[in-house]
Homo-oligomer: A and B are copies of this chain.
Amino acid sequence: MQITSEALERVIEELARLPGTGRKSAQRIAIHLLKQSDERVITLADALIQLKKSVIRCSTCGTITDSDPCSICSNQKRNSGVICVVEEFQDVYIIEKTNEFRGRYHVLGGTISPLDNIGPDDVRIKELLERIAGDDEQIREVILALNPDAEGEATSYYINKLLQNYEVNVTRIAYGIPMGTELEYIDEATLSRAFASRTPF
């Protein structure tokens, strides 16, 4: 095979490294870009460069932001007294989409996982305790919204135990039957949880 454009080949190689993009889709994207205007492609390249240049972590909640503190932590209309604890900054995105939660976040940056050598000091638990102990935010409720897997559960229990020493309510988001499904498609663990967590009608 003879390659006529090294520049095209390089773009295909780079795109093929991205998650979910095989060589075939990389090729399709590269050819698409080749047919786009210079401006469009430069806009994309520039957005990528800016991504690495301007994205930092919020020193309060730990989510990604272009300016510190992030727009959520600096938003006076949001309730600083309620903090939602999540594993990763992506979870902030996911929860924000629901428009349900109007408090602030705390991004742990992972979960406690002894098998992976990740202990309590490797995630931002100390920072959470400092926020709760501090006077700035007057935190009254901590909502745990970690993933319902073994590590998420263990981390939730660990945090809950620590928070017993503080004057805050600790709650967790409800785990149960997702809306719009049928019972026959629900796994047993979820169904058991839904029974255990049943609420008054």
Chain A residues in contact with chain B, CB under 8 A?
1-8, 10-11, 13-15, 17-21, 25, 27-34, 38, 40-55, 58, 63-66, 70-72, 75, 89-90, 92-93, 96-97, 99
Q: Closest Cβ of chain B: how far from A30's Cβ, in Å?
A: 7
Residues in B neighbouring A32, C-beta threshold 8 A: 18-19
Please, which residues of chain B bring their CB within 8 A of the CB of A96?
1-3
B residues in contact with A92, CB < 8 Å:
4
The 5 closest A-B pairs by CB, nearest first: A45-B45, A1-B96, A45-B48, A4-B70, A14-B44
Chain A interface secondary structure, helix, strand, loop or mixed? helix
A28 touches B33 (CB 8 A): no
A78 to B173, CA, bound (A): 67
Collect the chain B residues with CB atoms within 8 Å of residue A6's CB: 66
The answer to whether A44 touches B48 (Cβ under 8 A) is yes
Q: Does the CB pair A71–B2 fall under 8 Å?
A: yes
Least distance between A66 CB and chain B CB atoms (Å) = 5
- Between A14, A28, A43, the greatest number of chain B beta carbons within 10 A of the residue's beta carbon is seen for A14
Q: Are A51 and B1 in contact (CB under 8 A)?
A: no
Between A13, A42, A49, the greatest number of chain B beta carbons within 10 A of the residue's beta carbon is seen for A49
Question: Are B48 and A33 touching (Cβ within 8 A)?
Answer: yes
The CB with the most chain B CB atoms within 10 A, among A4, A21, A25, A63, is that of: A4
Closest to A64 in B: B5
Q: Give the nearest-CB partner of A3 in chain B.
A: B71
Contact A2 B48 (CB under 8 A): no
Q: Is the CB of B63 within 8 A of A4?
A: yes
Q: Which residues of B contact A33 (CB under 8 A)?
A: 18, 48, 51-52
